Chains A and B, each alone.
Chain A
Amino acid sequence: MLDTPVPPARVALFITCLGDTMFPDAGRAVVELLERLGTSVDFPQGQTCCGQMHFNTGYVSEAIPLVRRFVEAFGDSELVVSPSASCVAMVRDYYSRVAEVSGDQGLVDAVAELAPRVLELSELIVDRIGVVDVGAYFPHRVTYHPTCHGLRMLHLGDRPLRLLRAVRGIDLVELPGADECCGFGGTFAIKNSDTSVAMTTDKVRAILDTRAEVCTATDSSCLMNIAGSLSRQRTGVRTMHLAEILASSE
C-alpha cells in the first residue's frame, strides 16, 4: 500500500498547563496510547502554558514570553502533539499574531517554522500514524462533544468520531446540537458567567438526553466546564478525555 503514512518514531508532548495540573490522567493516557501505537514520547520540561488565556482575554504582551517559552521548549522537536484542540489552535492560528506584536522577526520566523508541526491528538493518530483502530476496548455508552476550536479552527472533522467508532464494545450515541458551544470560552465563563451557565445547561441537557454514561471531547477545558455542571447536578454522568477512552483496553 503506497499511501500508508510512516508513523513518526518520536513525538514531543505538550501537556498544557491545565492538563499538567488538573487532568494528568488524560496526559498519561496519551503517553500509553502513543507508545502502544509505536510512537515514543518526549516531554520537554521547560513547557508551561501556551498563553491562550492571556491572549484571548486581551493581555497580548503577557502572552509574548509564553510564546517564546513554547518555541524554546519545542523548537527542536520534529513533531509536537497535544491533547488540547484549543491550545493547538492557539499555536497554529494565533501565534503568528503574537509574534507580530512582539516586533521580533526571529520569533515570527520561529513560530512560522514550528506551528505547522504542532498537532492535536486525533490529527496525529489518523493522519500521521495512519490508523483509526487503536486497539481500544471501552464497553460503555459514550457521546462526543466536538469542541469549538477543534471543530471550527482545526477542522478536525470526523477524526475523533472515526477513532471512537473503532473502539470495541463502545455504544456511541450522537449528541443533539453537538456543534453548539458548551459555554466555557475561557474567561468568558467568569466574565459572562450567567450566559455561560445558560449555555452549559443546554449542553448538559443534550448530554443527558443521550443517556450516555460518559461525555468525551478533545479538550480538557471544555470537559471541565461540562463535568462541573454534570457533577453539581448530581447527574451521575462523567466526562473523559478522548485519550482516556482510546487508551482503555481489556
Chain B
Amino acid sequence: MTETTEPHTLAEPHTLAEPHTLAEPHTLAEHHTQSFPQAARGALADTQLRRNLGHATHTIRAKRAAAVAEMGDWEELREAGRAIKERTLRHLDQYLVALELSVTRAGGTVHWARDGEECNRIVADLVAAHGVDQVVKAKSLTTEETRLNDALAARGIQALETDLAQLIIQLAEEEPSHILVPAIHKNRAEIRELFLRTLPEAPADLSDDPHALAEVARRHLRERFLSARVGISGANFAVAETGTIAVVESEGNARMCTTLPEVLITVMGIEKVIPTWQDLEVYLQVLPRSSTAERMNPYTSLWTGVRPGDGPQEFHLVLIDNGRTSVLADEIGRQALACIRCSACLNVCPVYERTGGHAYGSTYPGPIGAILTPMLVGVKNAPSLPYASSLCGACYEVCPVKINIPEVLVHLRGQVVSGQDSVKPEAVVMNLAARMFGSRLLYEFAQRLGRLAQRPFARGGLIRLRLPGPLSGWTDARDLPALPPESFREWWRGRDRE
C-alpha cells in the first residue's frame, strides 16, 4: 500500500512572522497558537462580527453573480486564466528570468528575496539609503505576510498605509480580517469613533456617513502623498515579456504611491508573473468582477520600468519566495499559486462568513488561506486549517482561475494524517472503521452489534445519550437517530426469500 506522496520540502517552512500583540478584540496574538476550531468558537459568538460579515458577504455574493452573469464568455475566461497560470508555474524560472531582463532593460532594478526577513531587509536598506523616515504604502498582502511595516519601524521608518481600509486597520492597531476589504469587520459607527480619536483632520461634528468618513481620510492622506519621497507597493501581475507591473485598485492611493514619489519599491511574490502583455486581457476581466463585482475597477496602473519626466525615477522590484517554492513543489497544491487575490472564495464561504478572517490566524484567510497557509508555513504548523471546511465547493465554483480548493484541502488533510501520531484516538477509530468496512462479515456483525449496544439508550427512534469526547459536538446540538431494527440488506435478504 503506497503512502500519500510526501511534500517536497526544499527549504525550511517559512513561518509567517509573529503577529502584533494588541489589546483590541481581533488580535492574532491570542489566536495564532489556537487551532481553528478554538479560534472559531470565540468568533462565532461575536455578534457584531457575524452581523457585519454576514451582511457584507451576502451583498457582495449577489453582486458578483450579477457581474459574472453579464459575461457570455465567463467560463472560457476562467479556463484561460487557469491555463496561463499552469503554463507559467511549470516554467516559472524561465519567466522570472525574462521578467528580470525586461524590467532591467526598462530602467528598473530587480532584487531577489528568499524569505520575508531578507525582503524586509532589502526594502529597509533601500529606504534608508535615501535618508527618509517616512514612506507611503499602497496595500500589499505580500508585505503583510512579511510584516514589512514592523521591520521598517524597527529601523526608524514609518510606513503610512494609504488604502482606506488599511489606514483604518493601522489606526485601530488591529489585524486585517479579509484580503480585499480588511476592515469588513468594522461598521461605520466604529470607524467614525476611530477617526475622531486618531485623526487631527476629523471635524468634531463628523458623521458616520461613509462619504464623510472617506473625505476625512482623503484630507489626512493628501499631504502625505504630496511630500512622500519613497513609495512602496505590491503588484497584481508582472508581465515577463515587457517588464510591465500591473496594480489594480479603486481609490487612487496606489496611483499616488506609484506615481508621486521619486523612488518606488514594489514587492511581489514570484508567482505573480504572467508571460505576455496579451495575457492581461484575461486577468483584467476576471479580477474586477470577482473581487468588487464591478465591470472594471476605477484605476489600473500598468507601468514599465522608469519613464524620464513621468513618475518615479528610481524603480525597484523585489521578487520574494517565502515558501512559494514549497508550494510549487507540491504537484496538487501548486494550483494555489494561481490565486489572483480576488477574495471571491472568501465571500461565498459559509465557514468564513461565520468565523471571520482572524480565526484562520494568518495573512490569508478563508478558503485560499486554508490551503495556502499550510503549504507556505508547513502543514505541521497549521494542521487545523485544511479541516476548516465542509468541502461544500462554493469556492471552487467562483474561483476565476479554477483553483480546485476542495481537492487541495483533502490532499493536505492526507498530509496532516500521514504526518501525525498513529495512536491518536481519531486514527485508531478510522483504522477500526476501515477494518470493519473491509470485510462483509465484520461489517454486518458491527451493524448487529450497534443495534444491541444502543438498546439501553434508544427510545422513540432516537439515541438518548450524550456521545463521548469530540462526538459530543453532534449530540450537544442535534438528536441522533437510533439504528432501525432491520438494515437494508436484512430486508433485501428477507425479500429474496419470499
Contact = CB atoms under 8 A, between A and B. Distances in A.
Nearest to A63: B434
Given A56-B391, A190-B470, A193-B473, A66 B40 contact: no
Interface string B485-496: 011110110000
Nearest to B443: A48
Contacts of A56: 391, 410, 413
B480 A196 contact: no
A64 B391 contact: no
B481 A227 contact: yes
In this complex, the interface size class of chain B, counting residues with CB under 8 Å from chain A, is 35 or more
A152 B393 contact: yes
Interface stretch (A112-120, A123-131, A167-175, A178-186): A178-186
A55 interface: yes
A14 to B, nearest CB: 11
Nearest to B426: A57
A169 B169 CA distance: 57
B413 A57 contact: yes
A56 B417 CA distance: 11
A194 B489 contact: no
B393 A153 contact: yes
A102 interface: yes
A37 interface: no
Contacts of B480: 228
A39 interface: no
Interface in A69-84: 69
B417 A58 contact: yes
Interface in B380-439: 386-394, 396-397, 407, 410, 412-418, 426-427, 430-431, 433-434, 436-438
A105 interface: no
Contacts of A23: 484
B397 A45 contact: no
A213 to B, nearest CB: 17
B385 to A, nearest CB: 11
A4 interface: no
A212 to B, nearest CB: 19
Interface in A34-59: 43, 45-46, 48-49, 51, 53-59
Interface in A11-38: 15, 17, 19-25, 27-28, 31
Interface string A133-144: 000000000000
Contact of A180 (B36, B350, B492): B350
From DSSP, what is the main secondary structure of chain B's interface residues? helix
A224 interface: yes
A156 to B, nearest CB: 13
Interface in B40-56: 40-41, 44
B473 A196 contact: yes
B4 A148 contact: no
A191 B470 CA distance: 7
Interface residues of A, number: 71
Nearest to A61: B1
Contacts of B474: 189-190, 193, 228
A198 interface: yes
Contacts of A153: 393
B391 A185 contact: yes
B285 interface: no
A103 interface: yes
Which of B391, B426, B474 is packed against the most chain A CB atoms within 10 Å?
Answer: B391
Nearest to B486: A24
Contacts of A184: 390
Contacts of A231: 462, 478-479
A54 to B, nearest CB: 6
B44 A51 contact: no
A192 interface: yes
A192 B389 CA distance: 8
Given A17-B437, A54-B434, A195-B354, A152 B483 contact: no
Nearest to A59: B430
A206 interface: no
Which of B1, B3, B484 is packed against the most chain A CB atoms within 10 Å?
Answer: B1
B487 A60 contact: no
A91 to B, nearest CB: 15
A194 B41 CA distance: 6
Given A184-B390, A193-B37, 17 more contacts: A19-B488, A20-B488, A22-B484, A49-B443, A57-B413, A58-B418, A60-B4, A60-B417, A69-B437, A148-B391, A183-B350, A185-B389, A188-B390, A193-B470, A195-B351, A197-B478, A228-B474
What 10 A-B pairs have minimum CB-CB distances, sorted nearest first? A193-B473, A185-B390, A228-B478, A58-B413, A58-B417, A181-B392, A24-B488, A62-B434, A152-B393, A27-B488
7 contacts: A43-B489, A56-B413, A62-B434, A184-B390, A188-B390, A193-B474, A195-B37
